[in-house]
Structure 1
Amino acid sequence: MKRLAVYCGSAMGAEPAFADAARELAREMVGRGIDLVYGGGRLGLMGVVADEVLAAGGQVYGVIPAALVDKEVAHLGCTELHQVANMHERKAKMTELCDAFVALPGGIGTLDELFEAWTWNALGYHAKPFCLLNVNGFWTALDSFMDHVSASGFLSAARREQLLVAQSPAEAIERLDEAAKAATQGMVW
């Protein structure tokens, strides 16, 4: 795994543990030689993870719609900052640039990105794995809800197993790396 897309909030969230996890994930990535692909913002957890990767000497590839650049929320310190026309192009470019996805705590944008990556995987557009970084139980309710969706007959057991969950940045990267290797060996992911 060379590049990891990190989905996360443009806000800091209510718990300091969220920003701590973003910094820890960034350090873990740089320590393993993994570049950051993210939404290109300077605010919230997005800014925290980008700043930490850059401070540790890593590479940051931001992808941001032009309208958000105009609102001055773009992180101008990125190694590369790709401006795109809209959110659809943002998600497509991020998918193109990365090898896997991880979701830190975030809101509707983070959920949108995560579910679109999962849907595109289901449709065969990519075979890249994704993982929830369950900081202080943030994703526990979503994980349980996906069990409910599967038990209700709307998500196969195999598809349900694709949504990886990790309790630490190191565990998330290890689980994603294993899944990415399996995908490159032709195993269904």
Structure 2
Amino acid sequence: MNMENDERRLRPCLCFDLGGVLIRNAVFTGLPALLPAGQDLSVLRQRWLHSSVIRRFESGLCSADEFAQAFVQEWSLSISASEFLQEFYRWPEGFYAGVAETLHALRPHYQLACLSNSNALHWSKFADSLSVFDTALSSHQLGIMKPDRGIFDAAAAQLQRAPQQIWFFDDMAENVHAAQAAGWCAWQVQGWDGTRTQLAALGVPV
């Protein structure tokens, strides 16, 4: 077993974002349905990423009820906070087909991790699925969100890896650039198909 662990440590740590990479997330189809028609998707992505309300919730600084009430107000939604919270809970739908099987096959040979901007509500929803990782890291637990530099430094410390030993896959360009600035090897990918393609190009047997 020690020899197997030594062999794994000689290989890069594979670290994945969750939503939009390993997990099907309907946030950018569900959210527009709650807003006036004609919202530009790229603008919504930027607004979501930099929303002070979301940053508080996904940094573990407020409760789910406080988040829902503030979000409804910030985004001028016409539904109640409790109705929004029900919608919000449903948006992450689960692993893409084939993800769990591939990760199980890779785990004996690679250190596997995830680093996600998430919250207590969604984290508990996927608690059983996250056992496929050696280390599962969330912004709400670390108290800081991507793309802030500190989250990558904190994650590298928890993974006990030098930054250049971590291969990171995320669907948001800002997060990829921030990881690279922290010394990580990082690639922007879209969905599981894009992630598998990038892994294969790097010589990871998927």
TM over 0.5: no
Question: TM-score, normalization: structure 1?
Answer: 0.38
Structure showing greater Rg: 2
